[in-house]
Amino acid sequence: MRRSTGISVLHCLWSKSAKEIRCLTDRLKMENALKVSLKQIDGPWDQGWVLDKHMISSTFLGEDEHGKPRFDNHRTEIGEATYQLKYQKDWSQVGALARAVATNVFPKLANVGFVVPMPASNVRARQPVTEIAVELGRITGKPVFSDLLRKAATGQSLKDLHTKAEKVAAIGTGFSVNDEITNTGCWNVLVVDDLFDSGASMDAACAVLRKYPKVGKIYVAALTWK
């Protein structure tokens, strides 16, 4: 079984007691915490949260010498950290973002069994969401299955589509579950993503996870909303 964390079985699910989690949460709050503005999101999951909006404001400044549009963007702290990680490859942001999820979202969720990152749309040597999920697993003591949820390439970017219906149609049956949990049981899963927009991708991911007998409740956590 391929694992992100090197843990071969799920017996470590309860490795940290509720008291230990609370102490961990208190400590993390003091470690250069990013400012958040939590938002609860509804959907075909049991509970979902987003840390903050992505952009505060974006002002068009005109075009550069190559005819490309220029903007004066102001992001939230979470939005800026996410942007630096995803688009500037600043991997030092991983720890702060994972701690933000561990501190602000994780205590709201009952009996998380394991963590799963949303599969990426683009192929990269290192995937930002996977890195955050692995770090979150390390912080909370929960296993991370980075290849459990898969998404087939569609050849079309969801960013180019404007309505949820268009995105749902583009996704189709692209999501699937790879049964990489080798032992028998049923656990609550936390699905981690970077940006929550229409919810089309998360809806599709949850639909296939609901059919997986080793998943109980489904929790979702995103870094930013659009």
Sign of CA dihedral 120, 123, 128, 134: positive
Pairing of strands 149-151, 175-177: antiparallel
178-192 tens-digit pLDDT: 999 999 999 999 999
Q: Mean of the pLDDT values across residues 103-127?
A: 93
What distance in Å separates the CA atoms of residue 29 and residue 123, rounded to the nearest whole number? Answer: 33
Say what the pLDDT of residue 7 is.
39
206-216 tens-digit pLDDT: 999 999 999 99
120 pLDDT band (50/70/90 cuts)? confident
Say what the pLDDT of residue 213 is.
96
Non-local CB neighbours of 27 within 8 Å, separated by 6+ positions: none
- What domains lie within the chain, and their CATH numbers? 11-52+92-225 (3.40.50)
CA proximity to 145, closest of 114, 124, 123, 122: 114
Higher-scoring residue by pLDDT: 96, 2: 96
pTM over 0.75: yes
Say what the pLDDT of residue 27 is.
63
